[in-house]
Amino acid sequence: MALFDVIFLGLFIVGWMLTGVVPWMVVSVASRGHAGLLNLPLCLFAAVAGGLLVPIVGFTGPGGIWLSFGAALLVPAGLMAARRLSLGVLPERGSAEPAGKHSE
């Protein structure tokens, strides 16, 4: 493998990883920091796996490049959506009743 190929593949992996951070960051901002720090490496790995899957399937060329970045965005977004759905509805922070007052 030539040095040019290694540099080119490295730049793609960095680009896919930067794309994979976006869904984690959106969920983190929307949930006020409850995206889970342990989910960040999972999103990065999923982005690289989704990006690599596109050329492995056979989509190469300019269309394949854009499709690989789309996959690098959609796979971590699907993971974060599955995580949020598995948690259910989280109670609001300020919605707890004071101790001693119970509604009947």
> Which pTM value belongs to this model?
0.76
On the 0-12 / 13-18 / 19+ scale of CB atoms within 10 A, 17 is: middle
In total, how many domains does the chain have?
A: 1
**Mind listing the pLDDT tens digit for each residue in 36-82?**
888 899 999 999 999 999 989 988 888 899 999 999 999 999 999 98
pLDDT of residue 50: 94
CB atoms within 10 A of CB 14: 11
Containing domain of residue 59, as a range?
A: 11-85
pLDDT of residue 37: 84
pLDDT of residue 88: 74
- On whether residue 1 sits in a domain, the answer given is no
Measured between alpha carbons, how far is 46 from 41 in angstroms, rounded to an integer? Answer: 8
- On whether residue 20 sits in a domain, the answer given is yes
Q: Phi and psi for 61 in degrees, rounded to 5?
A: 95, -170
User: Maximum CA pair distance of the chain?
Assistant: 73
- On whether residue 77 sits in a domain, the answer given is yes
